[in-house]
Amino acid sequence: MSEQLKVPTMAEFMAEGKKPEVLFWVGCAGSFDDRAKKITKAFVNLLSKANVEFAVLGTEESCTGDPAKRAGNEFLFQMQAVTNIEVLNAYEVTKIVTTCPHCFNTLKNEYPELGGNYEVLHHTQFLKSLLNDGRLTIEGGQFKGKRITFHDPCYLGRANNVYEAPRDLIKKLDAELVEMKSCKSRGLCCGAGGAQMFKEPEKGNQDINVERTEQALVTKPEIIAAGCPFCNTMMTDGIKAKEKEASVQVMDIAELIANAEDL
């Protein structure tokens, strides 16, 4: 990226005695994973383009505790949650947007009981609202007429019943949205959830991400759209396993829109 991104922190806002419109919760993958960082940047570009006053926690952000909780370590999860809630409440955060469905689910559903009450949105929901309010416009651009299939992240779809926001955004690109046989509430997991991302799978006859990639390839897509950094990794690996890197790309919705806008 030629020019440096403008990414203010909550601390900077506070120093000026101001509060941002929304806190962008970047998440661990979005902060450290090379592939996911691109999604983070694409989303920041979109926020800037729509003139959204946003801030990140930066070095004050820490894991939400999701993988620890799903692995069974409730203790570690709650330690993370309570610490994060102290930070968020100290900054009087009211609205959070995140590009990770796991962070989204945990912040939205599991933090309130522990004292963290925020309006939490997945980035596809937030982008959709920007679009509805006329703050962001999407031109089809390079994706016009392309075959795109959307892989539902479990923690966005089944877990929280968000199926339409990502699809509405894809349609705005004038792309041809093709559905897999198992989609929406019956979407097959990419294999990363429940802390599986961090371990080798148990013995079986197939890896879940390859199975899911095969389902996606049936739709003959040019692009597999994802809404989760972990799904993105799993599907990208699946595409590699099927040796389809040359013809099929795995992209986050935020990247699709940012690319369409030449951001």
Please say which residue, 142 or 206, places its beta carbon nearer to other proteins. Answer: 206
Please say which residue, 109 or 137, places its beta carbon nearer to other proteins. Answer: 109
Q: Interface with other proteins includes 211 (CB under 8 A)?
A: yes
Q: Interface with other proteins includes 125 (CB under 8 A)?
A: no
- Cα dihedral 60, 159, 173, 23, rounded to 10, equals -20
Q: Interface with other proteins includes 199 (CB under 8 A)?
A: yes
Contact 122, 165 (CB under 8 A): yes
| Contact string (CB under 8 A) for other proteins, positions 78-97, x = contact | xxx-xx--x-----------
Q: Given the rule CB under 8 A, which of 16-24, 59-67, 171-179, 221-229 is the region that contacts other proteins?
A: 59-67
CB of 258 to other proteins, least distance (A): 15
Q: Which of 113, 119, 179, 245 binds other proteins (CB under 8 A)?
A: 113
69 phi/psi in degrees, rounded to 5: -65, -45
The Cα 24–Cα 42 span in angstroms is 13
Contact 30, 229 (CB under 8 A): yes
Q: Which of 100, 180, 208, 257 binds other proteins (CB under 8 A)?
A: 208
Please say which residue, 138 or 228, places its beta carbon nearer to other proteins. Answer: 228
Return all residues near 123 (Cβ < 8 A) that are at least 6 apart.
43, 97, 98, 99, 227, 253, 254
Return the residues of window 33-52 that contact other proteins according to CB under 8 A: 37, 40-41
Q: Which of 10, 23, 28, 169 binds other proteins (CB under 8 A)?
A: 28
The Cα 21–Cα 214 span in angstroms is 41
Return all residues near 203 (Cβ < 8 A) that are at least 6 apart.
none
Q: Interface with other proteins includes 65 (CB under 8 A)?
A: yes
Please say which residue, 30 or 221, places its beta carbon nearer to other proteins. Answer: 30
The Cα 107–Cα 98 span in angstroms is 10
Strands 95-98 and 147-150 come out as unpaired
Return the residues of window 161-190 that contact other proteins according to CB under 8 A: 161, 185-186, 188-189
Please say which residue, 143 or 166, places its beta carbon nearer to other proteins. Answer: 166
Query: Residue 201 region, left (φ>0) first, then alpha (ψ -120 to 50), else beta?
Result: beta
Total residues binding other proteins (CB under 8 A): 71
